[in-house]
Amino acid sequence: MFCLSPANTDPYFNLAVEEILLKNSQDEFLILGINDSSVIIGKHQVAHRETDTRFVTKNRIPVIRRISGGGTVYHDHGNLNFTFILNSEKGRQVDFKKYTLPVISFLASLDVDAKFEGKNDLKVEGLKISGNAEHVFRNRVLHHGTLLFDSDLDMLRGSIRKDTGHYFTRAVSSNPSKVVNLKTILKDSLKDSLKDSFSGVPGSPDSVYGLRSLMEKWFLESYPGTEMYELPEKYIEMTEELVLKKYITWEWNFAYGPEYCFNNSFDINGLNCTCSLIVKEGIITECDLKGFEGADNLCISLKGSRHMVEDIDDLIKNEKTIMPGLDVFNFF
């Protein structure tokens, strides 16, 4: 097995490289990656339903779809992502417990008693530290998960939508859980003893980069034949091309997936207003607006528009008859 610890923290690139290695190599990999602030949704989810659209827009947090199923997770420089890309017998690839066992064992070496709970979570004393997802390609399996170490939990909670009741769809939904950072779990005495383990490795026991160094070292020692790996130039070029063709596009991140209906009621200057949208492949196909001046004209304009903040905001600004005070986020 090859161990790859990318210096690149671009989430678009790091998600794309997983797909490239899965589909273009027969080698087995462990990837230990750290991403810039981003919200990563499952393949079969509705982006706006799973994320707080107002929060991620105002904080400029990208929303990116991955090729595996499951729910929504938050990435930042306090979160360590682990990815296994392994060859497996057909029909037996999907096995969350099997692929999380090495991670549980690594955490046990840090005196952290993590347990596999539910469908795909790792928890410590009932608090979630890791969400996992899988994707099967022929005789290969991609299993990836998060490890919350020192993430900004306020940003995590703000990014993920709490009330999804305005959205109606057959798309996969997330299962919110109470979370905790590993850094707060590690005993002070253990943190002191860990300093000895950092001789000759980058990072510190108090950083996610330090955790990555420890995990990297543990796998190299615990799994004979594991060796460090540098991404060849051909895979870098293939990954960059895939980012542009897929991972950075609206078509993949927002238009992909099942259709949905969005219903909302809101006030403008004391008037009770309603909004109903049907969205297919990211495009508003049906629209019903009531309660405010200019609603009929805006409704006509919305049909055929992308269900995106920038598109609807432009339509509102360009529609001269609309009553002042209409908030674009009433449509999300």
Angstrom distances, CA of residue 29 to CA of 15, 19, 213: 14, 12, 16
Same domain, 27 and 157: yes
* Residue 77: per-residue pLDDT: 96
- Please say which residue of 254, 287, 306 terminates a domain: 254
Please report, for the domain that includes residue 130, its CATH number.
Answer: 3.30.930.10
Q: What pLDDT was estimated at residue 95? A: 81
CATH code for position 267: 3.30.390.50
What gap in Å lies between CA 45 and CA 49, rounded to an integer?
8
Cα(130)–Cα(138) distance, rounded to whole angstroms? 26
In this structure, are 264 and 236 located in the same domain? no
pLDDT of residue 88: 86
Q: What is the pLDDT of residue 148?
A: 97
> Over the stretch 293-306, which tens digit does the pLDDT of each residue have?
899 999 999 999 99
Q: Which domain holds residue 285?
A: 259-331
Query: What local confidence, expressed as pLDDT, does residue 190 receive?
Result: 58
pLDDT along the chain (332 residues), means of 10: 96 98 97 98 97 98 97 96 92 81 94 90 94 93 96 97 94 89 77 55 69 93 95 98 98 96 94 97 97 93 97 92 89 97
Residues 6+ apart with CB under 8 A from 73: 39, 40, 131, 146
Do 222 and 275 sit in the same domain of this protein?
no
- pLDDT tens digit sequence for 202-241: 556 568 998 999 999 999 999 999 999 999 999 999 999 9
DSSP string across 194-230: HGGGGTTSSS-TTSHHHHHHHHHHHHHHHSTT-EE--
Based on the domain organization, do 175 and 68 belong to the same domain? yes
Joined together, the tokens standing for residue 245 give 């063709």
In SS3 terms, the chain reads as CEEECCCCCCHHHHHHHHHHHHHHCCCCEEEEECCCCEEEECCCCCHHHHECHHHHHHCCCCEEECCCCCCCEEECCCEEEEEEEEECCCCCCCCHHHHHHHHHHHHHHCCCCCEEECCCEEEECCEEEEEEEEEEECCEEEEEEEEECCCCHHHHHHHECCCCCCEEECCCCCCCCCECCHHHHCCHHHHHHHHHHHCCCCCCCCCHHHHHHHHHHHHHHHCCCCEECCCCHHHHHHHHHHHHHHHCCHHHHHHCCCCEEEEEEEEECCEEEEEEEEEECCEEEEEEEECCCCHHHHHHHHCCCECCHHHHHHHHHHCCCCCCCCCHHHHC
The number of domains in the chain is 2
* pLDDT in the model for residue 205: 56
Last residue of one domain, picked from the residues 228, 254, 280: 254
Find the helix or strand (DSSP H, E) in which 239 lies.
helix 233-242
Report which of 32, 16, 31 is spatially closest to residue 238, judged by C-alpha positions: 16
Same domain, 215 and 234: yes
Residue 8 CB partners (closer than 8 Å, separation 6+): 14
Phi then psi for 59, rounded to 5 degrees? Answer: -100, 5
Instruction: Estimate the share of the chain in helix, then strand, then coil, as percent rounded to the nearest 5.
Output: 35, 25, 35
For residue 78, the SS3 value is coil
CA distance 208 to 130: 14
167 in the same domain as 55? yes
- Looking at the fold, whether 250 and 311 belong to one and the same domain comes out as no
- 221 token code pair: 């020692």
Q: Are 240 and 263 part of one and the same domain?
A: no
Q: 313 and 201 in one domain? A: no
What does the block give as tokens for 10? 């671009």
* Listed residues 206, 226, 254: the one ending a domain: 254
One domain, residues 239 and 110: yes
**Are residues 21 and 120 located together in one domain of the fold?**
yes
Is residue 153 domain-shared with residue 182, that is, in the same domain? Answer: yes
